Structure 1
Amino acid sequence: MANLIFLLPLLASTQGFLFDVITNHLPHTVCYGDLGCFSNGPPFLSTHRPLSVAPHPPAQILTRFLLYTRENPTVSVEQVISADDLTISGSNFQGSRATKIIVHGFTHNGHRMWLQNMTRELLKHDDYNVIVVDWQHGATIPYEQATANTRIVGAQIAQLVNKLVQVASAQTADFHIIGHSLGAHICGYAGERIPGLGRITGMDPAGPYFENTDIQVRLDPSDADFVDIIHTDGGGISNLGFGVTQELGHVDFYPNGGVQQPGCATDAVDKLGATSWTAITHLFDYYAEEETLACSHERSYMYFTESINSQCPFTAWQCKSKAEFDKGHCVRCTDTTCAVMGMYADKSQPRGVFYLDTEATPTFCEYTYQLNISSVNKFDGVLLMTLQGTNGTIGPIQLMKKNEVHLGSEIISLPFRTRVDVGDAERLTLQYEKINTPFISGTFPDDWHLLGISLFRADQDQKVRFCGTYHAEIDNHNATSFAVRGTTC
C-alpha cells in the first residue's frame, strides 16, 4: 500500500504529461497579443509535416535582438533593442544605414562564433546596422516544437522592422535578413509581414518538416523582393541531410551539387561514424560532434561569410544538372547564365538554378577554367598542367583523375578549378604521362601531336590561345611550354 501511495503522484504526472502531449498535437489555435494567432492545423499539418504543434508563447522563447554597429562592433559592447521607441532611440541604430539581420537555427544561440564572424565581416565591408536574433530558448529540442516556434520569432522580427521604419525612418528595401537552417524559414515568416522587404538569404534552409510543404509553411520567393538560397546539405533524412533540396528562391545555388561538401562525411554511415569518432577523440565535446555531423549544413554560412570581403567572386553557372556542370558543358558566362553566390547575389540579373564547386577548406572560393586541346594522333595516359599568370603560378595539376584514351582528331575539354587567381595567363606547360593500357598501348605513340590549345576563364568569359601549338609534339614524360599568343608571338 505504501508503494502504491508513493506511485500515485508519478502516475498522475505521467498521465498529465501524456495528455498535454496528445492535446498539443491536436489542431488548435493560440493567440499572442499583437503578434496574432497561430494554428497548428493545415497547412502546418500535412503529409510532409505529420506532427504539428502550436508555438510556445513569446515569454517562453525570450527572443533578443542584439545590435552591432561600427560604434559597438563586438559582443562586449552589444546593445539589446526591441520593438519599442526607447530602446531604439537610445541605441546606435541609424535608419540611414542598410540593415543586416542574422538568424541562427536549431540548438544555436546568438553568440555562436559563426554569428560573430559574419558580423565582423559585414561591419568591415560597410557601415551597416547588424542585428543578431537570439532565440536560443525556442530553438531547443524537441525539433517539432522548435519548428513551430520559428513562426513567433518571424513575427517578432517583422514587428521590430516595422517599428524601426516608424521610429528611425528606415526603409524596408534596405533590410536584408540572413537565416541559417530553421532561421531561413524564420526569414520567410518575417518577410510575409514586411511589405517591400529588400532581400532574404536562406543558408541551407532546414529540410525536415519543410521540404515540399505549402508556401505558407516555408520560405518562398514571395517573402521578399529578392530571395537567394544556398543549398549545402540536401539528400533527405536517409542521408542525414539537414537542408532542403527543392528550389525556394529567385536564385538557388547548389555548391558541389548541394548535397555533400568537400571535406565533410559523404553519407549517413560516414556521418555517424565520423561523429562517433569525434565524440571519443574530443571527450564528447558537443560542438565538435555537431561540427562533424552537420559539417555540410554549416558550410552554407561559411560560404556566405567568406563571400562578403573575398576578391574571389563565387561565380556560379546555370546548368541542367550537376553532372552536366561537371562535364564542363555550362561554363559560358553571360548576362543570363552566370550568377554570384553569397553577399553579391543580388547584383546578378539571372534567375534559376546555379552550380559551382568549392575547395574543401578555407578559402573556399575557386576560379574556374577550361583547357581545350585539339590533337592529331592518339592519346593514352594522363595530362599535367602548370599555368603561369601575371599574379602567380599554379601547378603542376593533374587534369585527369585517371588515364584517358583519346583517338585523335577530336577536341579534349578539361575543366579545372583553383583557389589562386593567376591573373592574365602568360605561359602554359603541359606534361604527357603515357599509361601502358593492356592490349592497346602498343598502338599508341610515345609522343602526342597537337593542333591547337585554348584556355577559357569561365568567370570572365575570356579565352586565350597559345603560340607554337600547331603540330607541336609533347614527348612522353617530358614537359613542353607555350606562351600566350599576342605576348611573345
Structure 2
Amino acid sequence: MNLVGLNWTIVINSDVVNLERIIVIILDYVGNGQETSQIVGHLIMPIFQGVNPSTADEQILDYKNVSSIRASSFDGSKKTKIIIHGYTHNGHRQWLQNMARAFLKKEDMNVIIVDWGHGAVPPYTEAAANTRVVGAQVAKLISVMVSADQSGIDKFHLIGHSLGAHVAGYAGERLTHLPRISGLDPADPYFQGTDIKVRLDPTDADFVDVIHTDGSSILSLGMGAAQQMGHVDFYPNGGSEQPGCPAGLLSKITQTVWHSVSQLDLLAGEGSVACSHERSYIYYTESILYSCPFMDIQNSKDEFSKGRCLYCDGGCSYMGYNADKSTSRGSMYLSTQAAAPYCNFHYQLNITANNSMDGKLTVVLQGSKGNTDAILLTPNEEVLSNGNTMTKFFTINKDIGNVTAVALRYDKTANLLLGWAYPNAWSLMGLSLLEAEKHRMDQFCAYGKSVQNHGATSFGMMGTC
C-alpha cells in the first residue's frame, strides 16, 4: 500500500509577540515506498495576518541530518501536542487550526499537525490500511526529535480523530512510555472488535483517554467505535447520536443531500452525516480553554441520565484536555448542550414540601457571575405531598459562579376538578442544591416560607436568612 504526501505542520507560539509560527514539513514517498531524502517546509509568520510564505522563509529539514532539526523552531524543552486527522480530512481543516490555537493560548508549547490527506482519501479500505504506515512515521518523527533536540518522550501527547486515533495507537506501540494518547471517536469499520494490535488500546501509552460520540450502528451511518479502547472512555450523551445532530439513517441522508444541493457543494453535506462523529474534536477543543470542566461520572448511562449519580465519591473524571487530572478509570458518562458552548454544569435541586401541591415548578439560579434563564423543572404537572421531597436534575451551559440564591415559581394546576384541593400558597420545609462540578451541597432558607400561585420567591443561602 503506497502512501503519498505525508505532511507535518508544526505550530509554535512566538515568545515575543502574540503570533503563531507554522512550519509545514512535507514528507513524500515515491512509488516503491521509499522515502525521499529531505523534508521541505515553509515558515509562515504571522498566520493571523495571512502573510504568504516566501522563499526567504523556507527551511530545509532533513531528519537524517540532526543539525537541521536543531536549527528549526521546535523547542524540545516544551510540551509537544501532535494532532492527527482522520478519513477524508487533511491538515488544512479548520478544526485542526482551532485546536492548535487553543493549545497555544493555554500555554507555550509545540503543536504538530499531521497532514496525511493524500493517504486518507477513498476507498476507506486503503485509508484504513495506511494508518499503520502513518503511525510508523509519527513514531519515527518523535524518535528523531527526541534524539536531535535532547527532548524527552515525556513531553509528547498524541491526539487523533477517527482513523487518526488508530494512527496514534500504531505510533504509541513503537515508543516506550509515550505519556498520553487521546482518541477522538476512533473509527469503527475494520477496527472495532479486533485484537489490540490492530486498534487503539490502553497499552499504546501510559494513559489513553477516548471520547465516543458516534457509536451507533454502521447501518445508521455511525462512524465511531462504541468499544472501550482506553484507560478511561467517555460517552457524552450515551456516546452515539449527539444533541443538535441528525439522528437515524433517513435524517442523516436527507440533511446531507439538502445541504449539498442547496450550497452546490458536495462537501457541504459532510457536516450532517458526520455531525456526531465530528463532535468529539469539537468537545475536546472546547475543553482546552473553557472554564466548564466537562465533568462526568462513572455509572450506567441510564443512572446518569436520571441524575442519580452526581455524587463523585472518587468516581468523577473530566472529558478532554483535563482527563489526565483524575485517577478514575472505566466508562464515564455526561451530557452536553446541542450548541456551543457544549459543556454542561450539572445541578440537583431537592425540595421538601410542608403542604401538598399540584402544578408546575420553574427555577432561576442566582449566582455571583450572573443568573440562569428560567428552567422548567416539571414539564408536566406533578403532585408533591406534604413531607415528601422532590429531586430534580438539570443542566446549564454557562458559569454563573457560586449560587447565592434560588428563586422558585409555582403555577398551580388549572384542572377545575383538582385545583380546589390545593392551596394557593405552597409552603416549604427545606431546599438544597447540589453543584456537581464543585462537589458542593448548599442549604437555602426555605423552612416555613411559601411560594404564591403564579408567583416567585427567592430563597437565600443558609446563614443569610
Q: Same fold, TM exceeding 0.5?
A: yes
* Residue 316 (structure 1) aligned to one of 270, 289, 296: 296
Provide the residue aligned with 1:205 in structure 2: 186
Q: Given that residues 333 and 460 in structure 1 are in contact (C-alpha distance below 8 angstroms), is that contact kept between their aligned partners in structure 2?
A: no
| 3-state SS in 1 of match to 2:13 | coil
Paired AA for residue 317 in structure 1: I
Task: Count residues in correspondence.
Answer: 427
User: How far did 1:440 drift?
Assistant: 5.0
Q: Given that residues 317 and 355 in structure 1 are in contact (C-alpha distance below 8 angstroms), is that contact kept between their aligned partners in structure 2?
A: yes
Q: Given that residues 328 and 413 in structure 1 are in contact (C-alpha distance below 8 angstroms), is that contact kept between their aligned partners in structure 2?
A: no
Provide the residue aligned with 1:362 in structure 2: 340
Provide the residue aligned with 1:478 in structure 2: 455
* Residue 245 (structure 2) aligned to one of 264, 270, 275: 264
Provide the residue aligned with 2:157 in structure 1: 176
Distance in structure 2 (CA, Å) of the matches to 1:316 and 1:361: 19
Provide the residue aligned with 1:19 in structure 2: none
Q: Given that residues 6 and 116 in structure 2 are in contact (C-alpha distance below 8 angstroms), is that contact kept between their aligned partners in structure 1?
A: yes
| 3-state SS in 1 of match to 2:297 | strand
Provide the residue aligned with 1:297 in structure 2: 277
Distance in structure 2 (CA, Å) of the matches to 1:63 and 1:80: 16
| 3-state SS in 2 of match to 1:73 | strand
Distance in structure 1 (CA, Å) of the matches to 2:416 and 2:87: 55
Provide the residue aligned with 1:349 in structure 2: 327
The answer to whether residue 273 in structure 2 is matched with residue 325 in structure 1 is no
* 1:234-269 deviations in Å (ceiling 9; x for gaps): 112122111111111111111111111111112212
The answer to whether residue 90 in structure 2 is matched with residue 114 in structure 1 is no
User: How far did 1:326 drift?
Assistant: 1.5
Q: Given that residues 65 and 82 in structure 1 are in contact (C-alpha distance below 8 angstroms), is that contact kept between their aligned partners in structure 2?
A: no
Larger mean CA deviation between 181-190 and 302-311 belongs to 302-311
* Residue 149 (structure 1) aligned to one of 130, 155, 161: 130
Paired AA for residue 219 in structure 1: L
Q: Given that residues 67 and 148 in structure 2 are in contact (C-alpha distance below 8 angstroms), is that contact kept between their aligned partners in structure 1?
A: no
Once the two structures are superposed, the pairs formed by residues 182-201 of structure 1 within 5 Å of their partners are 182-201=163-182
Distance in structure 2 (CA, Å) of the matches to 1:81 and 1:246: 40
User: How far did 1:229 drift?
Assistant: 0.6
Say if 1:144 and 1:81 are closer, same or farther in 2 by CA, change over 3 A: farther
Paired AA for residue 307 in structure 2: G
Q: CA RMSD in A?
A: 1.9
Distance in structure 2 (CA, Å) of the matches to 1:421 and 1:196: 37
Distance in structure 2 (CA, Å) of the matches to 1:74 and 1:287: 26
The gaps in structure 2 that reach 5 residues or longer are 15-19, 24-41, 45-58
Paired AA for residue 175 in structure 1: F
User: How far did 1:333 drift?
Assistant: 2.8
Larger mean CA deviation between 97-106 and 427-436 belongs to 427-436
User: How far did 1:127 drift?
Assistant: 1.5
Q: Percent identity among equivalent residues? A: 47
Once the two structures are superposed, the pairs formed by residues 412-431 of structure 1 within 5 Å of their partners are 412-431=390-409
Distance in structure 2 (CA, Å) of the matches to 1:131 and 1:74: 9
User: How far did 1:360 drift?
Assistant: 1.5
User: Whose Rg is larger?
Assistant: 1
Provide the residue aligned with 2:260 in structure 1: 279
Distance in structure 2 (CA, Å) of the matches to 1:441 and 1:244: 51
| 3-state SS in 1 of match to 2:308 | coil
Paired AA for residue 453 in structure 1: L
* 1:272-319 deviations in Å (ceiling 9; x for gaps): 111122122212x23321111111111111111111111221111111
Distance in structure 1 (CA, Å) of the matches to 2:145 and 2:389: 59
Provide the residue aligned with 1:49 in structure 2: none
Paired AA for residue 263 in structure 1: G
Distance in structure 1 (CA, Å) of the matches to 2:289 and 2:242: 22
User: How far did 1:80 drift?
Assistant: 8.0
Paired AA for residue 323 in structure 2: A
Larger mean CA deviation between 102-111 and 258-267 belongs to 258-267
User: How far did 1:74 drift?
Assistant: 4.4
User: How far did 1:128 drift?
Assistant: 1.1
Provide the residue aligned with 1:386 in structure 2: 364
Distance in structure 2 (CA, Å) of the matches to 1:264 and 1:64: 31
The gaps in structure 1 that reach 5 residues or longer are 1-55
| Larger helix percent | 1
* 1:160-203 deviations in Å (ceiling 9; x for gaps): 11111111111112110000000001110000001110100001
Distance in structure 2 (CA, Å) of the matches to 1:474 and 1:82: 74
Paired AA for residue 425 in structure 1: V
* Residue 117 (structure 2) aligned to one of 136, 139, 142: 136
Provide the residue aligned with 1:70 in structure 2: 13
Distance in structure 2 (CA, Å) of the matches to 1:424 and 1:80: 54
